[in-house]
Amino acid sequence: MIVPMKKYSFLIYHKEYEEFLDGIRDVGVLHVIEKQTGEIEDENLRDNYNLVNQLNNAIRFLKKREVEQEPDGTGKDGLTILKEIHNIQDERESNMQKIAALKKDVRTIEPWGDFSMSDIRKLKEHGLSIRFWITTPSKFREEWLDDYNLEIINESGGQKYFVIVQEEDEKIEIDAEEVRLPENSLSELEKHTRDINGILEKSDKVLDLYARKYIALLEKTRDDIIRTIDYDKVILSTEKQAEEKLMLLEGWVPVDKEKILLDYLENKGIVNVKSRPEKDDRIPIKLKNSWFARLFEPVGKLYSLPSYSEIDLTPFFAPFFMLFFGFCLGDAGYGLLFVIIATIAKRKVKPEMKSLLTLVQFLGLSTVIMGIITGTLFGIPLFEKNLPVYSDIQRHFREKDTDINQQMFNWALMIGAVQIIYGLFLRAFNKIKQSGFRYSLSTFGWIVVLLSGGLIYLAGKNQSSGLLLITGYVLFSLGGILILFFNNPGKNILVNLGLGIYDVYSMATSLIGDLLSYIRLFALGVSSAILGFVFNEIAIGMSPDIPVLKQVVFLIILLFGHGINIFMATLGSFVHPMRLTFVEFYKNAGFTGGGKEYKPFKK
pLDDT digits (tens, 9 = 90+) for 439-459: 888 888 888 888 888 888 777
- Distance between CA atoms of 566 and 335, rounded to whole angstroms? 10
CATH class of 1-27+237-288: alpha beta
- Distance between CA atoms of 439 and 486, rounded to whole angstroms? 8
Nearest 5°: the CA angle 297, 303, 305 is 60
Would you give the DSSP letter of residue 582?
I
pLDDT digits (tens, 9 = 90+) for 69-93: 777 656 678 888 889 889 998 999 9
Asked if the model's pLDDT at residue 340 lies above 60, the reply is yes
**Residue 36: per-residue pLDDT:** 58
Cα distances (Å, whole numbers) of residue 73 to 76, 81, 219, 512: 8, 14, 16, 67
Instruction: Kindly list the domain boundaries of the chain, sorted by start residue.
Output: 1-27+237-288, 34-103+191-236, 115-184, 297-378+391-588
- Distance between CA atoms of 525 and 565, rounded to whole angstroms? 12
3-state secondary structure of 149: strand
pLDDT digits (tens, 9 = 90+) for 509-567: 888 888 888 888 888 888 888 888 888 888 888 877 788 888 888 888 888 888 898 89
Cα distances (Å, whole numbers) of residue 257 to 284, 368, 564: 14, 41, 48
Nearest 5°: the CA angle 232, 35, 229 is 20
Asked if the model's pLDDT at residue 390 lies above 50, the reply is no
**Residue 396: per-residue pLDDT:** 47
DSSP codes, 495-506: HHHHHHHHHHHH
Mean pLDDT of 335-362: 89
- Distance between CA atoms of 591 and 304, rounded to whole angstroms? 10
Would you give the DSSP letter of residue 143?
T
- Distance between CA atoms of 395 and 384, rounded to whole angstroms? 11
Mean pLDDT of 124-135: 86
Residue 427's H or E segment, with its range, is: helix 404-434
Residues with Cβ < 8 Å from 30, sequence gap 6 or more? 8, 24, 251, 252, 253, 261, 600, 601
Q: Which of 569, 586, 601 is nearest to 226 (CA)?
A: 601
pLDDT digits (tens, 9 = 90+) for 405-432: 778 888 888 998 999 999 999 998 988 8
